[in-house]
Every structure is written in C-alpha cells, then in structure tokens.
Amino acid sequence: MTGTKHLTDSAAPIPAEEFGTALTTYFATAGRPENAHRAQRLFERGLQQPNGAELDLGRQIADLG
C-alpha cells in the first residue's frame, strides 16, 4: 500500500501521463491475495455503491484492521 499512497500523495490530482503507472501500482497492491478478505469485506459494506462504504471509506478501511 505504501507505493499507492506515495503516488496518491505526490501526484494528486494525477497528471494524465502518470495515470497508467498509478493504476498499475493500485492493481498490484489491491490484487494481492493477502488483501482479498479486506476487499470482500469492503464490498459487503457497500464499496462502489452510492450510499455504502464509499461515503466514509477511510474509516471503513481503518475498521478492517
């Protein structure tokens, strides 16, 4: 996650020429097997839904421990 966080902090908003690198870094981190249970729990809490976890994503992620 540190790679993704670093890209987000240093490039927000992400210039078009860096978008591909940022997206690749995100998927490399998010797609790790050890993160699968966290992603599943976020989807159960309403990830990518207009009134679910998206409304308070930082807290939702922190609650996963």
Token digits for 12?
């927000």
Other C-beta atoms lying within 10 Å of the C-beta of residue 27: 11
pLDDT at residue 45, rounded to an integer: 92
pLDDT tens track for 47-60:
888 888 888 888 88
Q: Judge if pTM exceeds 0.85.
A: no
Which residues of the chain fall short of a pLDDT of 50? none
Give the span between the Cα atoms of 30 and 54, in whole angstroms.
16
pLDDT at residue 18, rounded to an integer: 84
Token digits for 38?
């966290």
